[in-house]
Amino acid sequence: MNRRHILAMVVGTALLVPACTGTGGSSQGAEAEAPDDPSKVTGTIQVLTVRTDLIQDGTLKRYAAEFNKVYPKVKVEFDGLTDYEAEVKIRMNTKNYGDVLLIPAVIKKADYPKFFASLGTQEERGKKYRFTDFTTVDGKVYGQSPVGVSPGFVYNKRIWREAGVTEWPTTPAEFLDDLKAIKAKTDAIPYYTNFAAGWTLSGWTSVNGSVHCDPKATDKLAEGDPWAKGADLRVGDTLLHDMVKQGLVEKDPTTSNWEESKARTAKGEIATQWLGTWAIVQFKDAAKKAGVNPDDIGFMPFPAQVDGKFCSVIGPDYNQGINIHSPHKEAARAWIDWFTDKSGYVEDNLAISPLKGAPLPEVMKPYEAAGVKFIEVNDAKGAQVKQIDSDSEVGINAPEYRQNLVDLARGARDGSLDDFFADLSKRWTDARKNLGS
Amino acid sequence: MTDTTRKTVVETAAGAAPPAPAPPPRRARVRRGVTPWLFLIAPLALLVTFTYAPVANMLAYSFTDWDGVSPELHYTGAGNYTEIFTREDLFRVFFVSGYYLAASAVQIIAALYFATILSFNVRFRNFFKGVLFFPYLINGVAIGFVFLYFFQDGGTLDSVLSLFGVRTDHAWLGTPFSANTALAGVSVWRYLGLNFVLLLGAIQSIPGELYEAAELDGANRWHQFRHIIAPGIKPVLTLTVILSISGSLSVFEIPYIMTGGATGTETFVIQTVNLAFRFGKTGLASAAAVVLLLIILLVTWIQRRLVPDDKVDLV
């Protein structure tokens, strides 16, 4: 062993020592209370957001200007992150992750009190707001989504009409028949998987709850087998599989293009996509840009009925939380309250209001007419589901397993659908047993 | 060559034995000793901060159950390593590396071919050098996007083929075989230039007299290649092979951008990234990264054993 090797080893060990110490304890349990007198709140707050488009076109600045009319001494700065989850995760290893941020999916629910200041008790907030249980830990709420979203199919009304379908299908089988009619009678692609984008496929997990109109659907994921016969996810995944298998989707899913798909749906080249209410406004914009009628964009619930009624699950979008290390918690709290209650962000996005008892947006009027039942899925066991999901590496909110499902359906992967589901079931239930629930 | 010069220096020193100069004063000696280190501070600081410190951190994380963001982490001993070596599904992705390995063989042969040809006096040789090297300068992410359009249904490849009257309805990224071949092809396109430049440099460092002498002896181009170029570039060729093998084992950018690992194109690094950032198993992923590093070191070591790095002596 010569001198150089010894030196390298010394340097190596010297580096290992500080690395092993890791991170120590942190503050916990801070409260962000709403200010009493708006004119006295001061400070500069940094708001992290995924909506880089709204920063670029100045929309967020306009919201901030409105906010300043009420809170003149608070300065709001926006920081748009394009790869939000990955970037914010790294920043959260420090204390510097903005004052107001969207609670990333990667943070375990039990860790919320270590990262975020509480907005109040669930008992109190639950009276006014929806979705409080999604961020509640030990009775305290740590975030609030400014909008509510509901999953469903964005479809082109004109194409569906041309295919002779005027009523929403009520079963997956009927849905498949309608898609076949579209394929036979029009030039449109009946269903577009958006396989390449990935997240568009993970959206199929949101069928959870719609199929059996069950507010306890998340509990069932935590306690049961999501791919047992008749279970919500299996029904949704089977429908996706059958559409692909029967050739009712785009010819080459691997090179599909999300941005293009919006305009193509508006123009009637694509008939249907499984997305959510949040997408409607984007598709209408795409229609306007393409010079076609935005009213052709329609929205329908998952084809399943309980007691003759469709069911639509309303859930939160990203929840806004307050950095526990923020020096301006009052100002941050003021922003969250104002943005949720008074900003008009909900109306601008044709979204469902997070306030209890608020009227439905215009785009959801057909839902009211059809008597669709709205439910909220209880998220008390959400943390457990996430843990099982990570341990089993199934990834119900990741694209992989559904990409594999689509590959299986179009013959690019060997195996049968039953074996595929059996494998998922096994991994899921094994992980659940290891967690001891 | 270096050996002979050193020998002469030693001989003259020993033979003539000039009067030894007085040793320089102490301060000058210290300064002379410190100067090279002063120059090295900047690169060493960068190297330590951005290479060795993260590697050390990664090693440390590989013995914990850290999820990448939680302030708490627990020491788990060799648990992560046991998990990696007891789960064969984690190693199945190495089959995908086979495609890239095969592609890099093609790549090296092509690079060698072009480097040899362009080392002779060919018309437009500088232009062709530029054409071959250009792809290597483009950002990998950009290449991923460009080729996504290239392989799209009705995309560039299909249009070019239809110019020649070939109308396939083939989904290029549609089956595992086709997708991996396509991706490996993109990787050849990208890295050919680097191999080519390395080999060209090696070839051009061979003295020109050798070719002249060979020509006088009646050697044709093939003889020149076989007996002058091939032995002359052997060290660089070995290096290229090592780089290609380690590259094929750790493919990431191109498949990650183009398919995200779908349709059987998942590589070991994509799997590691997913473990760390999707399933919150940063500890396990760090262990996987360490294992990959060890595998690459092992492969390189075996290779050096099989093909020892002999001194090249053309003269």
Q: Which CATH superfamily is A151-313+359-437 part of?
A: Periplasmic binding protein-like II (3.40.190.10)
| Residue A12, helix vs strand vs coil | helix
B21 is a domain residue: no
Q: What is the mean pLDDT of residues A91-95?
A: 89
- Is B24 touching A (CB cutoff 8 A)? no
Rounded Cα distance between A205 and A92, Å, is 27
Backbone angles phi, psi at A316, to 5 degrees: -80, 155
A195 touches A253 (CB < 8 A): yes
A255 touches B148 (CB < 8 A): yes
Query: Side chain identity at A33, as an amino acid letter?
Result: E
Rounded Cα distance between B251 and B267, Å, is 7
- Is B120 touching A (CB cutoff 8 A)? no
**What is the pairing mode between strands A151-156 and A297-300?**
antiparallel
**What is the pairing mode between strands A120-121 and A140-141?**
antiparallel
Question: Hey, how many other C-beta atoms are within 10 angstroms of the C-beta on A403?
Answer: 24
Question: Hey, how many other C-beta atoms are within 10 angstroms of the C-beta on B39?
Answer: 10
Out of B64, B171, B280, the one facing A390 most closely (by C-beta) is: B280
B103 and B205 share one domain: yes
Choice among A199-203, A313-317, B277-281 with the minimum mean pLDDT: B277-281
B55 is a domain residue: no
Task: Measure A169 CA to nearest chain B CA, in Å.
Answer: 31
B81 and B111 share one domain: no
Structure tokens at A291: 């010079």
Backbone angles phi, psi at A266, to 5 degrees: -60, -40
B237 and B185 share one domain: yes
Q: What is the mean pLDDT of residues A8-17?
A: 46
B123 and B209 share one domain: yes
CATH architecture, domain defined by A38-146+319-349 = 3-Layer(aba) Sandwich (3.40)
**What's the sign of the alpha-carbon dihedral A30, A35, A41, A46?**
positive
- The answer to whether the Cβ–Cβ distance between B262 and A111 falls below 8 Å is no
B212 and B228 share one domain: yes
pLDDT digit string (tens) for chain B, length 315 residues: 444 444 444 444 444 455 566 667 778 888 888 889 999 999 999 999 999 999 999 999 999 998 888 777 889 888 999 999 998 888 888 899 999 999 999 999 999 999 989 988 888 889 999 999 999 999 988 999 899 889 988 888 988 999 998 887 788 888 899 999 999 999 999 999 999 999 999 998 888 888 888 888 888 888 888 888 888 888 888 889 888 988 999 899 999 988 888 888 999 999 999 898 888 889 999 999 999 999 999 988 888 888 776 666 665
Give the structural domain span for B177: 94-266
Rounded Cα distance between A387 and A360, Å, is 34
| Number of domain units in chain B | 2
Model pLDDT, residue B197: 93
- The answer to whether the Cβ–Cβ distance between B173 and A252 falls below 8 Å is yes
**What's the sign of the alpha-carbon dihedral B225, B228, B234, B236?**
negative
ipTM: 0.73
B130 and B248 share one domain: yes
Q: What is the mean pLDDT of residues A217-230?
A: 92
Q: Is the pLDDT of residue A77 over 70?
A: yes
Which residue stretches of B90-233 are H helix?
Answer: 94-119, 125-137, 140-151, 156-163, 176-204, 208-216, 221-224, 230-232
B83 and B122 share one domain: no
Question: Could you tell me which residues of chain A have a Cβ less than 8 Å from any Cβ in chain B?
Answer: 11-12, 15-16, 19-20, 22-26, 85-86, 89, 92-93, 106-108, 111, 114, 195-196, 198, 250-252, 254-255, 257, 389-391, 393, 395, 398-400, 403-404, 407, 410, 412-413
Element (H, E) at A272: strand A270-276
B162 is a domain residue: yes
| Residue A189, helix vs strand vs coil | strand
Which of B64, B278, B284, B286 best probes binding to A when mutated, by most A CB atoms within 10 angstroms?
Answer: B278
Model pLDDT, residue A11: 47
Contacts of B172 in chain A (CB under 8 A): 252, 255
- The answer to whether the Cβ–Cβ distance between B263 and A196 falls below 8 Å is no
Give tens-digit pLDDT for A154-194: 999 999 999 999 999 999 999 999 999 999 999 999 999 99
Closest Cα in chain B to A25: B71
B13 is a domain residue: no
Q: For chain A, what is the mean pLDDT?
A: 88
Rounded Cα distance between B1 and B314, Å, is 10
B88 and B98 share one domain: no
Question: Hey, how many other C-beta atoms are within 10 angstroms of the C-beta on B25?
Answer: 9
Looking at residue B259, which CATH number applies to its domain?
Answer: 1.10.3720.10
B48 is a domain residue: no
B85 and B119 share one domain: no
B249 and B103 share one domain: yes
Contacts of A7 in chain B (CB under 8 A): none
B249 and B102 share one domain: yes
B19 is a domain residue: no
Which of A91, A200, A252, A408 best probes binding to B when mutated, by most B CB atoms within 10 angstroms?
Answer: A252
Which of A26, A82, A252, A254 best probes binding to B when mutated, by most B CB atoms within 10 angstroms?
Answer: A254
Q: Which has the closest alpha carbon to B99: B256, B267, B272, B297?
A: B267
Element (H, E) at B241: helix B234-249
Query: Side chain identity at B313, as an amino acid letter?
Result: D
B237 is a domain residue: yes
B117 and B189 share one domain: yes
Give tens-digit pLDDT for A371-421: 999 999 988 888 889 889 988 989 898 888 999 999 999 988 888 999 999
More confident residue, A265 or B5: A265
| Residue A102, helix vs strand vs coil | strand
Which residues does residue A141 pair with via DSSP β-bridges, in sequence order?
A: A120, A136
Q: What is the mean pLDDT of residues A233-256?
A: 93
Task: Measure B172 CA to nearest chain A CA, in Å.
Answer: 9
Report the predicted TM-score, pTM, of the whole model to 2 decimal places: 0.79
Residues of chain A with CATH 3.40.190.10: 38-146+319-349, 151-313+359-437
A48 touches A79 (CB < 8 A): yes
- The answer to whether the Cβ–Cβ distance between A412 and B174 falls below 8 Å is yes
Which residues does residue A300 pair with via DSSP β-bridges, in sequence order?
A: A153
Give tens-digit pLDDT for A277-308: 989 989 999 999 999 999 999 999 999 999 99
